[in-house]
A and B are shown apart, each in its own frame.
Chain A
Amino acid sequence: MERGQVSPDVLRTLNKEPSNVFKKTFAIAIIAALSIWSISAITFEGINDAGLKAVLNVVKFFFWPDSNPEKPVLLKYFLSFERYAVPYLMYETIMIAFVGTLIGAIISIPFAFLSSKNITGKFGSFVGSLIITLIRTVPIFIWGLIFIRVKGGAMAGVLAISVASIGMISKLYVEVIEDIDTGILEALDSIGATTLQKIRFGILPQLTASFLSTAIYRFEINVKNATILGMVGAGGIGFTLIDALGSFNFGVVAVCLWGIIPVVLLIEFFSTRIRARLTGSAES
C-alpha cells in the first residue's frame, strides 16, 4: 500500500456509515424556518439612552456601591442587621426557601406515590401526572398572588414556593419510586418480616437518599425563586431589588446583588457536594 492511501478496510467501514443527508437538510430547514419566523417577531426600536446609562451605572455601582458620595449605602444597607438591610433580607429569603421546600417535599410524597405506575397502575399514574403537570404550569407569581390573600409577606412566599415545588419534586420522586427494587421485599418476606419492618428496612433505605437529594436540589432553585417573589409582595429581597431598580437607586441594587450572588453561589456549591455524597452512598 502506498503512502497516503487509505486502506480498503477503512474505506469499507466508512461507506457502510449511513448518510443522513435528507434528514440533516430537513432538520436544518426546519430550524432555519423557525428562526426566520422567530426573528420576524422581534422588533428593534433603538436603544434607550437613559436605560443604557442606568444599566451601566448598575455595573459601575456593582464594583463599589458607595460610588455616589451623597447616598452612601454600604453602611446602611449592607453592614447592618436592620429589617430593611440586605443581610436580614437574604436571611429571610433563605428561610422562605427552606420552609417552602420542606413543606413542598412533604406534600409531594403522597402525590408521587399516587402517580407512580408500579403503585396505582396506568390510569392512576396518568391522572396523577396530569395533576402534577397542571400544578407545574402555573407560574410561581400566580401562586404568590393567590396566597397573598392568606397573609402578605414571607408567609405568602413560603406557601407559593411550597405549592410551586410540588410539580418538580414529585416528578423526580416518581422516577425514584418506579425504580424500587421489589426483590428486597420478597427477601424480607422470606425471613418473616412484618409489613412495618418491610417498609422500614426494604423501602425507606432505597428512597431516603434520593428524596433528600431531590429536596436539596429544589432548595437551591427555590432560593433563586424566593429572590424574585418579593416582586409580588411575598417577602424576601425581591421587593427591595425591584423597587431600587425602578427608582434608579443603583447603590441599593448593587448591594442587593452583592447579597444574592455569593449566597446563591455558596448554596449551589454545598448542595452539589452534599448531593454527590448522598447519591454516591446510595449507589455503593
Chain B
Amino acid sequence: MKKNKQNLGKFFQTIGKGFRSLVNLVWQGITSFFRLIGRGFQLLGRFIWKYLYPVIKFIWKYIGPIVMFIWKYLGPVVRFIWKFLKPVLLVFKRIFIPDPIKTEKDTVVLPPKPIMPYILIIFTIVFIMAIKATDFSLTILISRLMDFQLGPVAMIQRFFPVDWAYWTYVVDPILETIQMSFLGSLIGSVLALPAAYLASQNLTKSKAVVNITRFILSVFRTLPILIYAFFFKMIFYLGPLPGTIAIALFTFSIVAKMLYERIEVLDLGAYHAIQSTGASKQKAFLTALMPPILPIFYSISLYAFEINIRYAAILGYVGAGGIGFDLDKSMKNLTQNDRILVILIFIFATVVIIENTSRFLRRRVG
C-alpha cells in the first residue's frame, strides 16, 4: 500500500517535471523569438540612425528651402491651373463613373458603371503594341502601292497577258483536288459520328468521357490543316494520299464539334419513351435519334465538303496533292506568272459550283 503511494507520488512528480520542462521549452521559444525580432529592429534602427538619417538630414538642409521657396511662389499658380483643370478632369471622371441621377422623389439612382471606356483603352494599348510588333506603316504601304516597278502592282501586272492555253494542264489537278476533298470529307464525317456521340452530354452519361473527347477534338482543331498535311507527306510519299488523310482528320474534328453542338439541343423525349417501352438502347437510338440526327449530319458534312475544297486547294504547297502545287510553282517561278489567273479562275469556278450544289442539297436535306 505504502509502496504504491510512493510510486504514485513518483509518477506525478515525473509528470510535473515533464510538464514544467515543456512549459519552459515553449517559454524559451517565445522569448527567443521576440528577442530575435527585437534584435532585428535594433539593428534596423541603428542602421537608419547611422546611415540614412544623415543623408536625409543633408538633403533636407539644402533642398528643403528650395522646395519651400517653390511652393510659396508656385503654389498660387498651381492652384490657379487646378481651378481650370478640375472641370476637365471631372468630365473624364464622368466617362468612367457616371454621376448619380436625382429623381423627383428625392431618391438618388446610381447608373451602372460603363465598361466600354476600359475596353477602348485596353484596345488602344493593344493596337499600339500590335502596330509596333508588326512594323506596320502606312507611308511604306502607300509608297510601295504607288511603286509600279517593284511593288505589288508590278506583281499583279506579271499575271497578264494570261496564258489561256494552260487550262488543259489545270483540269487534272483540279479534279484531283475535288477527289481529295470528297474522300477526305466522307471519311472524316463518318468517323465523326461516334466521336460526336461520345462528346454530347445528353447521350453519354460519363462526364470524363465527354470532356476528354471534347478536349481531344479541340486540340485537333488548333493546328492548321497544312501542318497535318506536312506530317502525312513525310509518312507517305508526295501525292493526294497525305492530303486526303489531312482533310479527313480536319473534317473529323470540325464535323464532330458541330454535330455534338446540334445533338445537345435535340429533344430526347422520343428516345426515352421508346426505352421505357422496353426497347434496347441501340434500338431506341436507331428509331428515335437517327431520324433527327441524320439530316443534321448530312447538312454539316456537305458544309465541311464545301469548305474543304478551299483547303484542298492550298495543300499542294507542302506537296500533299491537288492544285496547290501548280499554284505555288506558277507563283514563285517568275516565267510562269501568267498561268496563275487560269488556275484561280478554275478554283473559283469549282468553288462556286460546289458551294451552290451543296447549298441546294442542304436546303433539301435540312
Taking Cβ atoms with an 8 Å cutoff, the residues of A that contact B are 31, 34-35, 37-48, 51-52, 54-55, 58, 91-92, 95-96, 98-99, 102, 133-134, 136-142, 145-147, 149-151, 153-155, 157-159, 224-225, 227-228, 231, 235, 241-242, 245, 257, 260-261, 264-265, 268
Q: How many angstroms from the CA of A133 to the CA of B306 in the assembled complex?
A: 13
Q: How many angstroms from the CA of A37 to the CA of B310 in the assembled complex?
A: 20
A153 contacts across to B, CB distance below 8 A: 135
Interface of A is mostly: helix
CB atoms of B135 and A46 under 8 A apart: no
A233, chain B: closest CB distance, angstroms = 11
CB atoms of B222 and A261 under 8 A apart: yes
Q: How many A-B residue pairs have CB under 8 A?
A: 164
CB atoms of B231 and A55 under 8 A apart: yes
Q: Is B348 an interface residue (CB 8 A)?
A: yes
With beta carbons under 8 angstroms apart, the residue of A95, A158, A265 that contacts B219 is: A265
CB atoms of B237 and A42 under 8 A apart: no
CB atoms of A155 and B240 under 8 A apart: no
CB atoms of A46 and B237 under 8 A apart: yes
A141 contacts across to B, CB distance below 8 A: 314, 317, 327-328, 331
Q: A139-B327, A260-B223 are in contact. Are A158 and B136 (CB under 8 A)?
A: yes
Q: A46-B237, A51-B234, A55-B235 are in contact. Are A150 and B179 (CB under 8 A)?
A: no
Q: A155-B135, A158-B136 are in contact. Are A149 and B351 (CB under 8 A)?
A: no
CB atoms of A48 and B235 under 8 A apart: yes
CB atoms of B151 and A149 under 8 A apart: yes
B347 contacts across to A, CB distance below 8 A: 137, 139
B304, chain A: closest CB distance, angstroms = 14
Which stretch in B67-75, B102-110, B124-132, B193-201 binds the other chain? Answer: B124-132
CB atoms of A137 and B230 under 8 A apart: no
CB atoms of A42 and B234 under 8 A apart: no
Q: A35-B183, A158-B134, A261-B222 are in contact. Are A151 and B340 (CB under 8 A)?
A: no
CB atoms of A48 and B222 under 8 A apart: no
Which residues of B110-135 are within 8 A (CB) of A?
Answer: 126-127, 129-131, 133-135
CB atoms of A54 and B136 under 8 A apart: no
Which residues of B123-177 are within 8 A (CB) of A?
Answer: 126-127, 129-131, 133-137, 140-141, 144-145, 150-152, 154-156, 175-176
The 3 closest A-B pairs by CB, nearest first: A51-B234, A154-B134, A264-B222
CB atoms of A42 and B183 under 8 A apart: yes
B299, chain A: closest CB distance, angstroms = 14
With beta carbons under 8 angstroms apart, the residue of B130, B140, B317, B340 that contacts A95 is: B130
A147 contacts across to B, CB distance below 8 A: 152
CB atoms of A41 and B179 under 8 A apart: yes
Q: Is B182 an interface residue (CB 8 A)?
A: yes
Interface string of B325-340 (1 = CB under 8 A from A): 0011001100000001
B223 contacts across to A, CB distance below 8 A: 257, 260-261, 264
Q: In this complex, which of A54, A133, A149 has the most chain B Cβ atoms within 10 angstroms of its Cβ? A: A149
A157 contacts across to B, CB distance below 8 A: 134
Nearest to A103 among chain B residues (CB) is B136
With beta carbons under 8 angstroms apart, the residue of A43, A133, A155 that contacts B140 is: A155
Q: Is B241 an interface residue (CB 8 A)?
A: yes
With beta carbons under 8 angstroms apart, the residue of B134, B156, B235, B327 that contacts A47 is: B235
Q: A44-B236, A48-B237 are in contact. Are A155 and B222 (CB under 8 A)?
A: no
Nearest to B131 among chain A residues (CB) is A99
With beta carbons under 8 angstroms apart, the residue of B131, B134, B150, B344 that contacts A235 is: B134
CB atoms of B237 and A151 under 8 A apart: no
Categorize the interface residue count of chain B: 35 or more
B186 contacts across to A, CB distance below 8 A: 31, 35, 38
CB atoms of A37 and B179 under 8 A apart: yes
A227 contacts across to B, CB distance below 8 A: 224
CB atoms of A151 and B144 under 8 A apart: yes
CB atoms of B151 and A268 under 8 A apart: no
A36, chain B: closest CB distance, angstroms = 10
A260 contacts across to B, CB distance below 8 A: 222-223
A46 contacts across to B, CB distance below 8 A: 237
CB atoms of B241 and A42 under 8 A apart: yes
With beta carbons under 8 angstroms apart, the residue of B140, B219, B332 that contacts A151 is: B140
Q: How many angstroms from the CA of A215 to the CA of B209 in the assembled complex?
A: 33
28 A–B contacts, CB within 8 A, in A order: A35-B182, A38-B180, A41-B175, A42-B239, A42-B240, A47-B235, A58-B231, A92-B133, A95-B133, A99-B134, A133-B348, A139-B347, A141-B328, A145-B331, A145-B332, A149-B155, A150-B141, A150-B151, A151-B135, A155-B136, A155-B137, A157-B134, A159-B141, A241-B227, A261-B222, A261-B223, A265-B222, A268-B222
CB atoms of B327 and A44 under 8 A apart: no
CB atoms of A44 and B241 under 8 A apart: yes
Q: How many angstroms from the CA of A37 to the CA of B181 in the assembled complex?
A: 12
Which residues of B49-78 are within 8 A (CB) of A?
Answer: none
A139 contacts across to B, CB distance below 8 A: 310, 313-314, 324, 327, 347
Q: Is B244 an interface residue (CB 8 A)?
A: yes
Nearest to A46 among chain B residues (CB) is B237
Q: Is B218 an interface residue (CB 8 A)?
A: yes
CB atoms of A38 and B183 under 8 A apart: yes
Q: How many angstroms from the CA of A184 to the CA of B283 in the assembled complex?
A: 52
Q: Is B352 an interface residue (CB 8 A)?
A: yes
Nearest to A140 among chain B residues (CB) is B314
CB atoms of A54 and B140 under 8 A apart: no
A92, chain B: closest CB distance, angstroms = 6
CB atoms of A39 and B183 under 8 A apart: yes
B163, chain A: closest CB distance, angstroms = 17
A242 contacts across to B, CB distance below 8 A: 230
